[in-house]
Structure 1
Amino acid sequence: MDSVLSSPRVVQSIQSIVRIYIGLSLLEHGTGKILGFPAVPAFAHVQLDTLAGAGGLIELIGGLLFVLGLFTRPVAFILSGFTAVAYFMVHAPQGFYPVVNGGELAAVYCFIFLYFVFAGAGPWSLDALRQGKAA
């Protein structure tokens, strides 16, 4: 059983699944802020010319590119920095511990995106198609 679970094909497939799920989760933040869907009361009055609006555009465009697996490494690098800045600007001033300041999600996003900077998109991606390595 261990050999099946640790086979390169399975690991790479899981890598793609994680990328798609994380990208959709971030994309949902962007669509909520920019497109108003899903309707989130905290995002109801986000304007494009504000920091939250700029963040929403980054989440929308970066999330979409990440889901598609297009330019994954540079997009992941930008998103890792974006979520680190979000943590330190929004959450850290509210307290030292992430569980207290509500910054767990931003911190987890930061490290997951950092992982993808080095790991790449996986086989189910436009990057893999462009390189002729798609599953």
Structure 2
Amino acid sequence: MPYIAAVFCVIMVAAAPFAIRKNWSGTDEEQFDYMTLLVPATEGVKRGVNRSMSVILVAAAVMCACALVALIPGKLGAEIPDSVLKPVVFGSLGIMLPTAFVIVPSIVLFNRPKFLVPPAYRKQLGLCQVWVRRMFR
């Protein structure tokens, strides 16, 4: 089973830069709709997830790279000292938790911070802005 996870991590780390570049250029907004097909959501939520896909992919690639650091040496018979493993685990958690619970919801709901939103999507409104405009029409 660890080998399957390692193969997935290698593919993710290798493919993420290409997907991030395509999302950041904004040429193909529908490219990431397949990632939101399984989630029953409104069009506004799907647009928000597409806006935050670059951040999600970066965080996933960092997590996968950290998983590789933890998986590969153990399977090769090498001993990983705690002085190396603990910073890797806490570093990946330190990247993943704020991304999952602060940055991505901020992009979906408010379309902020602008420097993390791809330039092609910066003029779109966040979900909260859309809801407020609908309420006060």
Structure 1 length normalisation: TM-score? 0.37
Q: Which has the larger radius of gyration?
A: 2
Taking CA–CA contacts closer than 8 Å with sequence separation of 6 or more, which of the two structures ends up with the larger relative contact order?
2
The structure in which a higher percent of residues are helix is: 2
Structure 2 length normalisation: TM-score? 0.36
